[in-house]
Structure 1
């Protein structure tokens, strides 16, 4: 993560003013750095800011890329816009990204499986890994344990082909309890040792809401409070 930050800062220092046309790329890079630091809300906002920049500057292909990045961070808010872009562009990337967003929005595990297969056939193994990981989480929430294990194994295989890459979705796929996306994010932050107040600030919710999520996550996992949730990741 530090190396990524240094590389981005260096690129900005060396960039010519005319290259500001490509600020959406910087915002996507910032989004992934934020996600690596478990700043999930910031990651989503940065990806969507990149999409807004691309749209304002008539860069539809880059807008697709930015909106797809938001989906990797469990934000399918751009699904309708991706559908419009898929219709206007007609490119494989736009079409698969739109299908991916719709599947995540409807918690459609099999749709996420299909998106994973499509991304892999395009050569985008990291996107395929994330879609498979999100499918595993969705299958688990629906009680389809066998399907969840199969999807998680596929996600691990694809991540290994990407040099052992990791992401919020890939981490979530390894959680046995059927957490919601917000519960999973809070468990990750608990494991990092953040206080409830710090988590509330990152997630833009109240401390009471954080406490409620921790209680529900603990109950689902069958563990005792923060310490038990921390062990889910540490171990």
Structure 2
């Protein structure tokens, strides 16, 4: 079983992926997490990624796909070794037509395919509010929000004591560019997955638990229809 969560930045893909990962026994493949870890390492690649994301641009397809290919291969090895891993839960990938078709080819190379693609739909003004108010611990990556979930100790993380910051890509101008890029490059993928008959939609402008429940219902229905439930 392999599931993609789609939706604009700020739609809650990351939150849902973290909640669904243990419930569905899937391995979360979140390119954003991988990129931020590389940036934190200070490597040459990390410096390049920081510049790209700071401008609000998307990471090149070839680089992103190579990272994902390695993670898929690793989880399949783990599954064959008897570890309790069912498949992958993609968060933030694919974002372009080239990435989508590369993912299809990667999975087909392992004799597998996508189970479903779930779009989390949230109004644009809500997305901007969520993104601009987001704060992140630069040490442990715990996420806060200045309105809905402020850091109890101000600019100090209550989890590890690290400094709570606003990421460069959560500033107003990068936010506008990221949402525009989503509309231009990523949203058309919905038509592609709709044509394959695997696209589903969930209202993301509701309590987190309600969104999770809706996604689980969709996955159960898809598995039942495929005879793998």
What TM-score do the two structures reach when normalised by structure 1?
0.32
The structure carrying a bigger strand percent of its residues is 2
What TM-score do the two structures reach when normalised by structure 2?
0.33
The structure carrying a bigger helix percent of its residues is 1
Higher relative contact order (CA 8 A, sep 6+): 2
